[in-house]
Amino acid sequence: MKTQVAVIGAGAMGAGIAQIAAQAGHPVRLFDTRMGAAERAVKSIASTFETLAAKGKLDAADAAASSARIVAVHALGDCVSAALVVEAIIEDLAEKRSLLRELEKIVAPSTLLASNTSSLSITALAAGMRHPGRVVGMHFFNPVPLMKLVEVVSGLATDATTADTIAATAASWGKQPVRAASTPGFIVNRCARPFYGEALRLLSEGAADEATLDALLREAGGFRMGAFELMDLIGNDVNFAVTRSVWEACYHDPRYAPSVLQQERVAAGFLGRKSGRGYFDYAPGAAPPSPSTLASQVAPKRAILHGDPGIAAPLVERLAAHVARLSLARLELLSRRGQQLRVAGRLRPGHAGGGRGP
């Protein structure tokens, strides 16, 4: 039998972690301080396994066995035999630190303590503990059963063997582990802040509505979901907490500043799909949002670029491939960046030497 795993927090993330751990063969103890939350999660996971079996995505016997491995418990002391404890509670440093210190009194010194935090410092979570080397980040993404990526985050005190074990565990659960240092937002959430932030700025400035901005990101940007759809899926309370955490950890760098629009939705309880309303309405029968559209326009035959495009040079190359003639002013600046041949090769004759086009 595989080692026991305990999951603290029976929300969407905790339930998802419990599901994949059980499906990988581990006996799982699921605990939540909210009355009946763990029991409801166990029933929901059992229903999910039944659905997977009915669709032929999981063998019926395996589904039943996986479901039977998950047990709701009513006290942290019931997790005493776990070899790995994954906490997936509220994204609050004080709450998580308090939980980890309580767990340290209960579990064996060899038990690994992993946090599913999205952005909080693993170094700070482990500070002051008797065995800080066993504290590590194991950041899953929502929905846990479907999303392959897991960030394995090491704080300053995290033992290398701890991180190695967690990475191997994630891989054995069918995930793709990536290593990260305990920096603000780790990898994904650090990169994602501008994705949300710029969309929120455009909305606050009245550039377009939520549905239109999401449509632009999907259809022109190639994203599977727009920023507002994704925030509603994650939960606006969670997204706002992560944004604030990264912003504060980066010494209030304005690039990561939270938006009043986020704050207002959290204050109103418009948390997204889980509350039935967020940036969009998820009530039964609610009409899906429609983006604003314009009639198709004739593509331009010519475009003129003034100045050095800098980091936008790849965009110029794509534009040049789709426009019949492209006249570049000050093309000589591009040559200093080694871009002239790649860009000028698509220009009509006579324009490789620079100068203002007609």
Task: Respond yes or no: is residue 189 known to be catalytic.
Answer: yes
The catalytically annotated residue of 118, 119, 236, 245 is: 118
Give the residue from 199, 196, 160 showing the smallest Cα distance to 179. Answer: 160
Which of 151, 154, 229, 236 is catalytic? The answer is 151
First to last CA, the chain: 76
Alpha-carbon gap, residue 156 to 129, rounded angstroms: 13
* E strands present in the chain: 5-8, 28-31, 70-73, 84-87, 112-115, 135-139, 149-154, 176-181, 302-306, 325-329
| All residues at 6 or more sequence positions from 236 whose CB lies less than 8 Å from its CB, including other chains | 262, 265, 266, 270, 271, 272, 278, 279
Q: Determine which one of 66, 116, 119, 189 is catalytic.
A: 189
Burial 230-246 (b: 16+ CB within 10 A, else e): bbbbbbbbbbbbbbbbb
**Active-site position among 104, 139, 154, 245:** 139
Task: For the sheet with 149-154, list strands across it.
Answer: 70-73, 28-31, 5-8, 84-87, 112-115, 135-139, 149-154, 176-181
Alpha-carbon separation of residue 343 from 15, 267, 320, 323, 329 (angstroms): 51, 50, 7, 12, 13
**CA atoms of 274 and 262, how far apart (whole Å):** 16
Residue 172 among the catalytic residues: no
> Is residue 254 within 8 Å of residue 264, measured between CB atoms?
no
CB atoms within 10 A of CB 14: 25
Query: What three-state secondary structure class fits 272?
Result: strand
Tell how far CA 127 is from the center of its chain.
25
Distance CA 270, CA 303 (A): 44
Active site residues: 118, 139, 151, 189
